[in-house]
Amino acid sequence: MAAGRDGIVRVCFVFGTRPEVIKCAPVIRCLSQREGFEVQTVLTAQHREMSDQVIEVFGVPVTVDLDLMRAGQTLPSLTARLCEGVSGAIQQLKPDCVMVQGDTTSCFVGALAGFYAGIAVGHLEAGLRTSDVRQPFPEEMNRRLVGSLASFHFAPTEGARTNLLKENVPADRIWVTGNSGIDALRIVSETAIVAAGTALADVLAGCDGLVMTVTSHRRENQPFMAGIASAIYELIEAVPNLHVVFPVHLSPAVRKAVMPILSGVDRCHLLEPLAYDQFVALMKRSDVILTDSGGIQEEAPYLGKPVLVMRRKTERPEAVEAGTTILVGDDQATIFDRTLGLLNDAEERVRMAKAANPYGDGYASERVADVLAGAFGGR
Q: Catalytic residues, which ones?
A: 103, 125, 139, 217, 219, 249
The Cα–Cα gap between 198 and 216 comes to 22
38 binds, among ligand UDP, ligand UD1, none (CB under 5 to 8 A by kind): none
- The interface with ligand UD1 within residues 8-27 (CB under 6 A) comprises 17-19
Contacts of 347 (CB under 8 A, 6+ apart): none
CB count in 10 Å sphere of residue 363: 16
288 binds ligand UDP (CB under 6 A): no
Contacts of 80 (CB under 8 A, 6+ apart): none
Report the residue from 72, 76, 118, 197 that binds ligand UD1 according to the rule CB under 6 A.
72
Interaction of residue 140 with ligand UD1, rule CB under 6 A: no
Rounded CA-CA distance 143/222 in Å is: 21
How far is residue 357 CA from its own chain's centroid? 16
266 half-sphere exposure, CB direction, 13 A CA radius: 5
Nearest Cα to Cα of residue 326 among 351, 362, 359: 351
User: For residues 221 and 365, which CB has a smaller minimum distance to ligand UD1 in the complex?
Assistant: 221
> Would you count residue 138 as binding ligand UD1 (CB under 6 A)?
yes
Left, alpha or beta for 216 (phi > 0: left; psi -120 to 50: alpha)?
beta
Q: Is 299 in the site for ligand UDP (CB under 6 A)?
A: yes
Residue 72 Cβ vs ligand UD1, minimum distance, rounded to whole Å = 5
CB of 24 to ligand UD1, least distance (A): 14
> Measured from the CB of residue 279, what is the shortest distance to ligand UDP in angstroms?
3
Gap between the Cα atoms of 276 and 273, Å rounded: 9
Contact flag: residue 138 with ligand UDP (CB under 6 A)? no
* Residue 251 touches which member of ligand UDP, ligand UD1, none, C-beta under 5-8 Å by kind: ligand UD1
Report what 71 binds from ligand UD1, ligand UDP, none; CB cut-off 5-8 Å by kind.
Answer: ligand UD1
- The site that binds ligand UD1 (CB under 6 A) totals a number of residues, namely 22
In the chain, what's the furthest Cα-to-Cα distance? 66
Q: Is 289 in the site for ligand UDP (CB under 6 A)?
A: no
- The Cα 108–Cα 91 span in angstroms is 18
For ligand UDP, the closer CB: 47 or 153: 47
Angle formed by the axes of helices 18-32 and 364-376, nearest 10°: 60
Residue 72's binding partner among ligand UDP, ligand UD1, none (Cβ under 5 to 8 angstroms by kind) is ligand UD1
Binding site for ligand UDP (CB under 6 A): 18-19, 22, 215, 217, 247, 273-274, 276, 279, 293-296, 299
